[in-house]
Amino acid sequence: MNNATKIAIGAGVVIIAGALILSHHPSPSVTYPRHVHTWVSFEVIAPNVQTSAYAPYVDWVDVTSGGNAFKGSPTYAQLHAAGIKVVPYSDPSHHVTPPTTYLNTLFTSADWAHACNGEPVVWNKPGHTLTYINDIRNPDVAAKWKQDGDHLMATVGGFDAMFEDTADDPFSFASPAPPADNTSPCNPVTQADWTAADYIMENAFGYPVIFNGLGSSGGGVSPRSEMLLGPALGGMDEGCDDNYNATPYAISLGTKWLGHRDAQMLALAYGKDFVCHHLQHADASTVTAIRMFHYASFLLLFDYATDIYSTQWTGGTSNVSVMPETLLVPNNPVLPTPTNMNVLFGRDGAYHRLYKHCALNGVDKGQCDVVVNPTKPTSKNPGTITLIEPFTVRHVLKLSGAGILDGGTATIISSSPTSLGSGQGLIAFP
């Protein structure tokens, strides 16, 4: 391999190196996936290209519940024919006024939760129209959500899972106070009671559910998440490794970073789908180092069967935020999926996960080592570590551009980095 070797894919840093410990070589007789499972939020921004352009790279799309305004206006059936799973958006916990979806036309003031002072509880999140928190303990709320699912099946077509936004959270942005617990003397509802109601509602829905609420931007798994994984197909960690409330944009480090790993391990333990969803909208070509940190973090616990990667980076005209790094698919980990991140903590202070076969765009490149340094810097310690790799580093993958459909490329160049800074990730190959 020489400096002129180019791969028209990718983002981030991939290290190509000579193996010293393992002797796993490419296996040309084995068929490997072309990319990890990907999720695109067309409910947020619709694609500007035909379905045939993004179908090779996209596995899941979440869409507005009443259909879509995609390029070419594909039906659910046409998306299915292209191999894409469809996830309509819903939020049964909230009544948006004026109504913007069929589900919201079903809700009335009789469905609203009330605080101890008798006032209806408003979901007072900045930037949103007047929204009330529904009392999901009321069986009528669950029945209307089921009616919404039935309506979609009858009018738009089959879907693969319903997206349940802002699941099981009666406290955030609740005004004048959280819903009452309906006891005397009155107190705010407990998380346990609200979780039990959401569990019952998901069970009664009758269709697969992927709920938003498995993790949080602050890191960590909320106590409610584990119970909801029971009836659900899977959960989304929205703001996965982001610290999106920070200005300028920041990434999760230290214990917050570990919290997002906890969410992923929890889903893996249940055998449920895990959607790692990043919220930032920056130009992808300007954040290649951050993209690599995010992706390497995702791959540390990667399971092809259940893990799904989602971003909202911009750049280019396609409006399809699928990054070329998703074409790197690790296979056959040397160690089984850990239940504690300490198993992956290396002598150099970084987290490592060694895989026997790592496919790039479906082509096996042999073993690779996924490395992440989530150390939170301090005034006395910038967080940079000296790498201790299982092989000698000889090449790196340099990035340019944005998403796959917008000309993003990766060029393999000669380089031998010996350190890794705070908030950086890389993937090393022999």
Q: pLDDT for 185-200, tens place per residue?
A: 999 999 999 999 999 9
Residue 11: per-residue pLDDT: 34
Say how many C-beta atoms besides its own lie within 10 A of residue 160's C-beta: 18
Q: Is the per-residue pLDDT at 202 higher than 50?
A: yes
Bridge partner residues of 391 (DSSP): 19
Higher pLDDT among residues 314 and 411, named by residue: 314
Find the mean pLDDT for residues 202-219. 86
Provide the percentage of residues in the chain whose pLDDT is more than 70.
85
Does residue 69 have a pLDDT over 90?
Answer: no
pLDDT exceeds cutoff 90 at 71? no
The pLDDT > 90 percentage for the chain reads 65
Is pLDDT of 216 > 70?
no
pLDDT of residue 182: 83
Instruction: Name the residue with higher pLDDT: 73 or 354.
Output: 354
**Which whole number is the average pLDDT over 391-401?**
71
Closest CA to 379 of 425, 422, 426: 422
Task: Tell me the CA distances in angstroms from 39 to 58, 62, 273, 309, one per residue in order.
Answer: 6, 8, 12, 6
Whether the predicted pLDDT of 4 surpasses 90: no
Cis peptide before 377 (omega within 30 of 0): no
Q: What is the rounded distance in angstroms from the CA atom of residue 307 to the CA atom of residue 298?
A: 9
Q: Does residue 221 surpass a pLDDT of 90?
A: no
Please compute the mean of the pLDDT values over residues 223-241 and round it to a whole number. Answer: 88
Q: Give the pLDDT confidence score for residue 72 in this predicted structure.
A: 59
281 band by pLDDT with thresholds 50, 70 and 90: confident
pLDDT of residue 424: 94
Confidence check: pLDDT of 28 > 70: no
What one-letter code names the amino acid at 372?
V
Q: Which residues contact 91 (CB under 8 A, 6 or more apart)?
A: 103, 164, 165, 166
Structure tokens that stand for 403 in this block: 């998403």
pLDDT (0 to 100) of residue 158:
87
pLDDT: is 7 or 108 the higher one? Answer: 108
Contacts for 306 with CB less than 8 Å, ≥ 6 apart: 234, 267, 268, 271, 272, 273, 274
Model confidence at 250, pLDDT cuts 50, 70, 90, reads confident
Q: Is the pLDDT of residue 53 over 90?
A: yes
How do strand 391-400 and strand 424-429 relate by DSSP bridges? unpaired
Q: Return the number of other C-beta atoms located less than 10 Å from residue 277's C-beta.
A: 22
Lowest mean pLDDT among 92-96, 158-162, 279-283: 279-283
How much is the pLDDT for 309? Answer: 98
Q: Is the pLDDT of residue 48 over 80?
A: yes
* 17, 190, 300, 339, 423 from 351: Cα distances, Å: 18, 37, 8, 14, 12
pLDDT at residue 75, as a whole number? 84
Answer yes or no: are the C-beta atoms of 179 and 203 closer than 8 Å.
no
For residues 7-31, average pLDDT: 46
**Mean pLDDT to the nearest integer, 332-341:** 94
What are the structural domain ranges in the chain? 6-429
- pLDDT for 16 equals 33
**CATH class of the domain whose range is 6-429:** alpha beta
**Average pLDDT of span 288-314:** 95
Q: Give dist(CA 17, CA 428) in Å, integer.
A: 7
> What's the whole-model pTM score?
0.90
Query: What band does 13 get if pLDDT is binned at 50, 70 and 90?
Result: very low
